[in-house]
Structure 1
Amino acid sequence: MTHPRIAVLALLAVAAAWGSTFFLTKDLLTRMDVADYLALRFAIASIALIVINPPAISRLSRLDRGRGIALGVTYGIAQLVQTEGLRHTSASVSGFVTGMYVVFTPLLAAVILRHKIGRWAWVAVVLATVGLGVLSLNGFSMGTGELLTLASAGLYALHIIGLGAWSTPSNAFGLSALQMVVITVVCAIGALPGGFTLPSGSGDWLRVIYMALIAGALALIVQTWAQAHLTPTRAAIAMTMEPVFASGFAVLFGSESVTARMLFGGALVMSAMYLVELAPRRKIEAEVQHLAQ
């Protein structure tokens, strides 16, 4: 099996891990502040990565360190915004709206590279907007949770583009560890104003540890390695399974029920994701490669 195929399978595993966190986080946030939870989660992940390979960060070049810091800041802010949004919407809706990064990734890559956006991309944007409306709109206004989650999707798209351009098999671990440290700092700054609180029980600690080590440290290492073998748009296709996993876990374990709006809106969003990725893939992937040079 070739490296790209292994990388796609690896990203599917990452998507499953991320998807499993939505309903767990939703429950945990009833007892913990957003920034406190994220700071603790990524602090545990950072410590784990540093213990496993202490010199990984120091081996990075100055350029890679700068890139790692930029990626970490972007991802950290995205996590804060997304998790705050999750406080105001359901886990299944949050999963689908977060998945809009798959639409934003090629669009932002095209804007950054001054590449003309094709008609299929615009069709996908309209389709995704309609799907998002069916899925998330409350009357004539979009809720706070959906807006925050949509903003985080844009930040995740920037992270995917940067990671695809800057990661290599040789710097994957160090870049992951540095990102984790920076994400921890960003989230800790967010936690400072209200003070810092720890989980109250063993069950909450287990949730945090799982999301720190499996859906945090391990997932980021795998994503960084996989994106060294894939272009951002191909990686984004694999990660479209995240909202599917999120909704599945939310229904199976999170006491959420399947609704017609969820199915129809989710289907439209997923259709837009695949349309924007598959239709213009060759042209956009060719352009995105220039970022790594």
Structure 2
Amino acid sequence: MAAASLAALCWASATVLSKAALQNTSPVLLLTLQLIVSNMLLWGVILVLRRRLPPRPAAGRIALLGLLEPGLAYLLGLIGLVSVGAGVATLIQASEAIMILVLAAVLLAQPLRVPVVVSSLVALAGLAMALGLFDTGAGENDPTGVILIFVATAAAAVYVTLSARIAANHDTSVIVGLQQLSALVLALTALPADALLFGGLAGPSGAGEWTVVIISGVLQYAVAFSLYMYALARISAGLAGSCLNLTPVFGLVLAFLLLGEVLTGLQLLGAVITILAVGYIHLRAGAVQH
């Protein structure tokens, strides 16, 4: 539980730091630099501790999941984050809980219960309020950016649904290392698109900007994913997921403190509704799994 909660804090902090880094660094280049930092740390740990890699077929399946998250999920997420507030982005990511339940019902034939369906609708209504759809005084979030973050969250939900079963069967650092290596390959492949979409490969220039990139890469990829995989190997996916409800809480607070992002009263009410509804969904899922 502590590991999953710390993962939520790491993801929220890194999202805020990434938003700050995007002021001077194009998104695909930022993802590439963050993943390089993370891979250097992870594979350094794997080599020093002499962790054994799984057999080639299993290693291939683990690596392929990394194309979903952090690969596609963070590729689209960072592009969307260019035009969406960091606090709102963490709220959108809270909808992952609902997506996981739907995917579990479709792919794993797990039943959808009425209280969960109702809570999901309430959470989506709260999210609409938090996005400022009903508040003319709310700051604007670009619709394309919002859609990209929703798609990124969906990719993350597919990743979680498919990854829950491998966490207990292999070493945590090896799982995360293989997945982030494949994500780095995807980022490098997409790097030319950065120049086309954003008019050039703008990168960090000073020591402060490089520090933000390095810290966000370590927190968001190496530390957060390792902590969450550690948690998944020891508690149910539902219980671990319930801790991720802290992510938008941390994200909203940090976005306010570090970036000066402010929500209107109606948006804050929507944020609270979303967090409470998603928290209930996770508690119901955890109770069923136990």
Specify every segment of 5 or more residues in structure 2 that has no aligned partner in the other structure, as ranges: 136-140
- Alpha-carbon shift at residue 244 of structure 1 (Å): 0.6
Q: Mind listing any 5+ residue stretches in structure 1 that lack a counterpart?
A: 1-7, 287-293
User: What secondary structure, in the 3-state scheme, does the structure 2 residue paired with 1:161 have?
Assistant: helix
Equivalent position amino acid for 1:143 in 2: P
Counterpart for residue 275 of structure 2: 270
| Counterpart mapping for 1:80-229 below 5 A | 80-138=75-133, 143-168=143-168, 170-193=170-193, 194=195, 196-229=201-234
State the shift of 1:162 in Å. 2.5
Query: What's the offset of the Cα at 1:63?
Result: 3.7
Q: Distance in 2 between matches of 1:278 and 1:61?
A: 36
Amino acid at match of 2:214: I
Which deviates more, 189-198 or 123-132? 189-198
Match of 1:40 in 2: 33
How far the C-alpha of 1:57 sits from its partner, in A, is: 7.4
* Matches of 2:62 and 2:215, distance apart in 1: 24
CA contact (8 A) 1:105 1:232 kept: no
Distance apart, 1:256 and its partner CA: 1.6
**1:240 match:** 245
Equivalent residues of 1:11, 1:223 under 8 A apart: yes
Residues 1:190 and 1:57: Cα distance change in structure 2 (over 3 Å): farther
Share of identical aligned residues, percent? 22
Q: TM-score w.r.t. structure 2 length?
A: 0.88
* TM-score, normalisation: structure 1: 0.87
Q: Is the 8 A contact 1:199 1:205 kept in 2?
A: yes
Task: Supply the AA of the counterpart residue of 2:207.
Answer: S
1:180-239: CA deviations, max 9, x gaps? Answer: 111111111121232655311111100111012233212221111111112222111011
In the other structure, the counterpart of 2:259 is 254
2:34 maps to 1:29: no
CA contact (8 A) 1:14 1:223 kept: yes
> 1:152, CA displacement in angstroms?
1.5
Contact 2:32 2:188 (C-alpha < 8 Å) held by counterparts: yes
| Distance in structure 2 (CA, Å) of the matches to 1:191 and 1:197 | 12
Work out the CA distance in 1 between the residues paired with 2:32 and 2:176: 16
**For 1:71 and 1:21, how far apart are their aligned partners in 2?**
21
> SS at 2:152's partner residue?
helix
Q: Secondary structure of 1:152's match?
A: helix
Distance across 2 between alignment mates of 1:58 and 1:191: 31
